[in-house]
Structure 1
Amino acid sequence: MERSNTNGLTRLNEISDKIKHYILLKASTSAATGLAIVILLQLFGIHYAVLWGLLAFVLNFIPNIGSIIAAVPAVLMAIVQYSPTTALWIMLGYLIVNLLIGSIIEPRVLGRGLGLSTLVVFLSLIFWGWLLVPIGMLLSVPLTIMIKIALQTQPNTKWIATLLDSGGEIGKYPQNI
């Protein structure tokens, strides 16, 4: 029984470490988003660029809609300061930054850093977002990590955990299917 408790504690520690690492990686990609927004807005001469970049950083933790909400004040500032045309350029800039970082860079960074396939990170966002709506989007990667670690503990499910892995070798585990 003591060995079972030790295995359970080991798994909990592994989950805890992965979630801490996820938060660090997510904060890093959010900081990159915020910095890119600051640079974009300063290039256009938009007032309070650092504030809008900080807002982009914070709201980037809310998948999909956070980036849209973060863009609104800067776009409104562009209209007030310059023109609707400048505001359109700012919207395009936000779109490009969020597509590059949110859809390409972030899934790769999270996947490699957490041992999950990039595709699995992307699909987990869709699945958990669909299942649990906004809270599912926030928790998608931590939930998937917990499931992967749980699957790794049983010989019959290790192969599924390997499919979720970023560099797993399918032939690595014997199959009894």
Structure 2
Amino acid sequence: MTSDYSKLSKYLIVGASFTIVVSGLKIAAPIFVPFLLAIFISILVSPVLKLLKSKGLSNGIAILIIIALIGLVGLFIGSILGASVADFRQDLPEYSSKLSLISMQIQQGLANIGLVIDKDQWSESFNPSILLAAVGSSLTSFGGVLTNSFLILLTVVFILTENITFSEKLKNATGNKDGQLWLENFATSVHSYIAIKGFVSLLTGFLVFVLLKLIGVEYAVLWSVTAVLLNFIPTVGSIIAAVPPVLLSLVQLSVADSIFVLLGYLVINLFVGNYIEPRWMGKGLNLSPFVVFVSLVFWGWILGPVGMLLSIPLTILVKIGLETQEETKWIAVLLGDK
């Protein structure tokens, strides 16, 4: 009886602790997200740091070169997207009014064949202009993350400075190599995932750019970069990326062109997602499809769009952490795909 009570108390404490941690992360998301981005950027560039140091450069010089490279990449992306986002937001009212007109025409067409739908109910159920407005606000909120770029870069500098000694500190703190091994396994998994996913996403973005340019859809650069970023979001990212250009081609060009854009996105994602990516990614992640989807919803709910982008690396982190403890290894097995 005492043993059962002890187990129940243990589960209750674990459940309460989990709830408190999740609630704290959600409340502190605006502060936590920039630091989380800094950590993952540091993990990604750490091989570059090791490479530069192997060439005889000092730690300080190597870090300065890395920060300069990150800054140049950020300026390049910002210069490309900045003008496109501003122009798109300026044209947004015009596109929204055209979509509303198309929506009314569809409603009238249905009424002509006997399918009468209440105007308010139709507006709530089918209003494409709301989707474009949501895209505009999402682009603005993503820009809000970039406003913390100085804080992110500063944090990256401090993390890279501690990069050499952190593993040794972790070993000394835990008294064994488990913590160090856990960190190395996580870094290796993230490097592999980001490298493969990055290549696949860039390929997707390039194909999307070619498709939209050939058809003549405006803001092809903006939508191709959006496709690259959203491709990191499992399952739904590619679907979300297709919505704005499909709607835009509908108001800018014609219904036929909109269908061509939709089919083009479908072919690109089927080719890349079902042929290219599986051949490169293989079974390296060892996460079940259900866990991938749940992690997308969970981290997105807690951390917003950045949580969705980092849902796979964060879940890998949790899984590897669970694998290091005998008591929680069974949970890691449940998270796997075999």
Amino acid at match of 2:255: P
1:76 and 2:248 aligned: yes
**Alignment partners' CA distance in 2, 1:99 and 1:124:** 23
- In structure 2, the partner of 1:17 is 188
| Paired residues for 1:89-104 under 5 Å | 89-94=260-265, 97-98=268-269
Contact 1:107 1:121 in 2 (8 A): no
2:208 matched residue in structure 1: 37
| CA deviation after TM superposition for structure 1 residue 145, in Å | 0.9
Instruction: For 1:76, give the aligned amino acid.
Output: L
**2:233–2:311: 8 Å Cα contact kept in structure 1?**
no
**Distance change in 2, residues 1:29/1:48 (3 Å):** same
Kindly indicate whether residue 235 of structure 2 is the aligned counterpart of residue 61 of structure 1: no
Count of matched residue pairs: 164
Indicate the residue corresponding to 2:283 in structure 1. 112
Residue of 144, 154, 163 corresponding to 2:334? 163
Q: Give me the whole-angstrom Cα distance separating, in 1, the residues matched to 2:250 and 2:272.
A: 23
Rg comparison, structure with higher value: 2
Aligned CA distance change for structure 1 residues 163 and 19 (closer, same or farther; 3 Å): same
Q: CA deviation digits over 1:75-115, x for unaligned, max 9?
A: 636754x523212331343356457756x679967672222
With over 3 angstroms needed to count, the CA separation of the structure-2 counterparts of 1:128 and 1:70, relative to structure 1, is same
Name the TM-score, length of structure 2 as normaliser: 0.39
Q: Which runs of 5+ in 2 are unaligned?
A: 1-170
> Which amino acid is the alignment partner of residue 244 of structure 2?
V
Instruction: Describe the shift of the 1:161–1:62 C-alpha distance in structure 2 as closer, same or farther (beyond 3 A).
Output: closer
Matched, 1:46 2:216: yes
* Percent of aligned pairs sharing the same letter: 41
Q: Which residue number corresponds to residue 143 of structure 2? A: none
Task: State how far apart, in whole Å, the 1-side matches of 2:299 and 2:282 are.
Answer: 16
Q: Which amino acid aligns with 1:72?
A: P
Change (3 A) 1:47 1:143: closer
1:86 and 2:291 correspond: no
Question: 1:174 aligns to what?
Answer: none
Deviations 1:7-36 (A, max 9, x none): 211111111111111211321331342254
CA contact (8 A) 2:246 2:259 kept: no
Q: Distance in 1 between matches of 2:254 and 2:260?
A: 10
CA contact (8 A) 2:296 2:308 kept: yes
Distance 1:58 1:9, change over 3 A: same
Distance, in Å, in 1 between the alignment partners of 2:194 and 2:329 is 26
The one-letter amino acid paired with 2:216 is I
Q: Deviations over 1:18-75 (max 9, x none)?
A: 1111211321331342254356447x64378984545522443356467645653576
Q: Distance in 2 between matches of 1:74 and 1:46?
A: 12
Determine the C-alpha separation between the residues in 2 that align with 1:66 and 1:79.
Answer: 21
C-alpha offsets along residues 114-145 of structure 1, whole Å, 9 cap, x if unaligned? 22223322221122223333222122111111
SS of residue paired to 1:156? helix
- The letter for the 2-side match of 1:23 is I
